[in-house]
Amino acid sequence: MSNTDQKECWSIDGEEFNYGSLGNLLNARGDEVRPGHKVWRGTAKRPAMADFVDADSVIEDIAAQANDFGGEYADGYPEVSPEHKAKLQALLEQWLAECPSPRFYQVTNAVPYVLTDSDFTQEQLAEITAQEEDDTTGKPA
């Protein structure tokens, strides 16, 4: 994997890291979390397209398919010079550069994070307080 794109990501459950910042998590799920609740912070590591294919893997695939077709008669096929391999690599890189970037990522370095009052806006804290008061008095929120 290349280190082309690593950014912070957040999760409410430690499983699905769908938020690019703590603010995004609180805006989307603020009705579910309070100061003192645990969420998770990790690093989103996005792959480069070139992480999935290169000239060697294409050449190996051609050789395997040739072997399936011709058996031992296909041994040594394809005969690839360093120049041919470099040309294939350049073509693959050009083609991959034109493809959309992956929208998925791996999460590394995930650690729990306990929310504090300072993580919330004043408006969010006021809403939390109002909701807690409604919960204790039995009034609908």
SS3 106: strand
Summarised one tens digit per residue, pLDDT across range 112-124 is: 999 999 999 999 9
- Residue ranges per structural domain of the chain: 1-47+104-141, 51-101
7 beta partners:
44
In the 3-class helix/strand/coil scheme, how is 5-71 assigned residue by residue?
EEEEEEECCCCCCCECCHHHHHHHHCCCCCCCCEEEEEEEEECCHHHCCCHHHHHHHHHHHHHHHHH
For residue range 59-111, list pLDDT tens digits in order: 999 999 999 999 999 999 999 999 999 999 999 999 998 988 888 999 999 99
137 has pLDDT over 90: no
For the cut 90, the answer to whether the pLDDT of residue 5 exceeds it is: no
